[in-house]
Amino acid sequence: MPAAPDPQPARPLEADEADALLAPLAEFRRLALAVSGGPDSSCLLWLAAQWCARRRQAGQPAPEFHVLTVDHGLRAAAREEARHVVAFATRLGVPATVLTWHPPGLRSGIQAAARAARYRLMRDAMSDLGCEALVLGHHRDDQIETFLDRLTRGSGVFGLRAMSLDTPSGPEGLRLLRPLLDVPRLRLEATVRQAGLAVVDDPSNRAPEFKRVRLRRMAGHLASEGLDDDRLLATIRRMAGAAAALDAWATREIVARVVQHPAGPVALDPDGLPGLPEDVRLRLLGRLLRRVGGSETVPRFERLQRLDQRLGEPQPFTATLAGCVVDRAAGRIRIWREPGRRSAAAAAVALAPGARLLWDGRFHVSLADGAAPVRIEPAGHGSDATPAAGRGGFPASAFARAPLLRRADGDAAIVPGFAPLPEGVTVTPLDPSGM
């Protein structure tokens, strides 16, 4: 039997392909690029710089890019890798900033902690720079690993849709753009080689103690049984289509059933709720919990399912899930931020004129240029800023983690919905119907 022919080497991306992939970025004025120095993000930076140059040479508008790289401190080489990224970006004429994280002494979950820290640091930097979205170098192989990871965790339709080219509200409320999501990793590496780029080698990408590395290896075994990349990607596309349909239905229900207090709590009309398909009810609940609680993700499927079953029963009850209190009484369902839950994102913050931030993962807060400085903090138990007349049927405890604003001179404390906000201040709760 003749030997099987060697696979064809991966082709580098051509300029016209890069132009098509990056074309959606042209609608933005200023974007942040997350660059670690590895081949994927280095390729993204290289392609973006070349694309901008071609557009400007042709007299077409192009966004301003700003590179963000994190010195995570997890390896001795991390600081030098961050410097490498800055030098590379500088050669391409793209400004770059190093963000520094001091890792806590964790024995487990360090990768998850580092990921959360990266997004938090980038959120703050993007706010200062006025960047509208964060561009990431995720590619087709990352998409498959994400799908397999979520499959092993028992995710439902929404988890199995994996990642999107455009995520309007990702971690820390950031808009995430992934223009290379449909491109195989080998083509990005071929592009890097052709361009002669020096890239960072992260040994953790080959360490079997990390789940993603094991999943990457497992994908090769699945392909030998017929479950190759094309079939996995087809499944992801079908899941994404189903998720979009369910999301549209859930949005209609949220618009029709939910009333949101300006300080965060929501009330849900349960009439007819049991008649909806379970997947729609679970999505509706998940979105409300995420928005009210400020979490990046919805709760696990099994926990949502148990909550949904209890909400379908006639007797009143109170439960907690995802940092929220869920209360059913007097013919309606009320959800508010759990009073005892604290987070770094809900710390007291002094706002200077022109500042914009996402506070506690739940509220967009801004202060107009020229306005007097203000301070935002959690209202706290026993606050006199939430009189019963303005609570909309919620208990006082529902506002313990509401945003409270004070002028720098210490004048009256104001909670949104109970009194007019100070001049120049905008506080907007994230809208669960717009997720």
Binding residues: 36-41
- With H, G, I as helix, E, B as strand and everything else as coil, classify residue 333: strand
**Segment (H or E) for 406:** strand 403-407
Q: Is 36 exposed, middle or buried (0-12, 13-18, 19+ CB in 10 A)?
A: buried
Whether 69 contacts 171, CB under 8 Å: no
Whether 367 contacts 386, CB under 8 Å: no
Rounded to a whole number of angstroms, the CA Rg of the chain reads 24
Tokens read off for 359 = 């506070």
User: Which residues have a Cβ under 8 Å from the Cβ of 206 and sit 6 or more positions away?
Assistant: 213
Whether 49 contacts 93, CB under 8 Å: yes
Q: Is the dihedral of CA 371, 375, 377, 379 positive or negative?
A: negative
**β partners of residue 404:** 377
Whether 415 contacts 404, CB under 8 Å: yes
Residue type, 110: I
**β partners of residue 257:** none
E strands within 94-167? 96-100, 133-135, 166-167
Tokens read off for 228 = 């190759």
Binding site for ATP: residue ranges?
A: 36-41
The total of other beta-carbon atoms located within 10 Å of residue 131's CB is 25
